[in-house]
Amino acid sequence: MENAQHHNLTSMLALILKALGDVDLEEVFAQAKRKMEAGDFAGAQLDLSSIDLSDIDLSEADLTGANLHQAVLSDADLTETVLSLVNLEEADLTGSNMTEANLHGANLHKASLVEAELFDADLTGARLERANLTEAILDGANLTGAHLAHAEYDDSTRWPDGFDPAKLI
pLDDT at position 39, please?
A: 46
The pTM assigned to this predicted structure is 0.77
Instruction: With cut-offs at 50, 70 and 90, classify the pLDDT of residue 48.
Output: confident
Instruction: With cut-offs at 50, 70 and 90, classify the pLDDT of residue 29.
Output: low
pLDDT at position 78, please?
A: 96
29 touches 9 (CB < 8 A):
no
Tell me whether residue 33 is exposed, middle or buried, using C-beta atoms within 10 angstroms of its C-beta: 0 to 12, 13 to 18, 19 or more: exposed
| Residues 71-115 pLDDT 10s | 999 999 999 999 999 999 999 999 999 999 999 999 999 999 999
| Residues 54-76 pLDDT 10s | 998 889 888 899 999 999 999 99
Tell me whether residue 47 is exposed, middle or buried, using C-beta atoms within 10 angstroms of its C-beta: 0 to 12, 13 to 18, 19 or more: middle
Query: Would you tell me how many other CB atoms lie within 10 Å of the CB of residue 18?
Result: 11
Q: What one-letter code names the amino acid at 13?
A: L
User: What are the chain's domains?
Assistant: 45-169 (2.160.20.80)
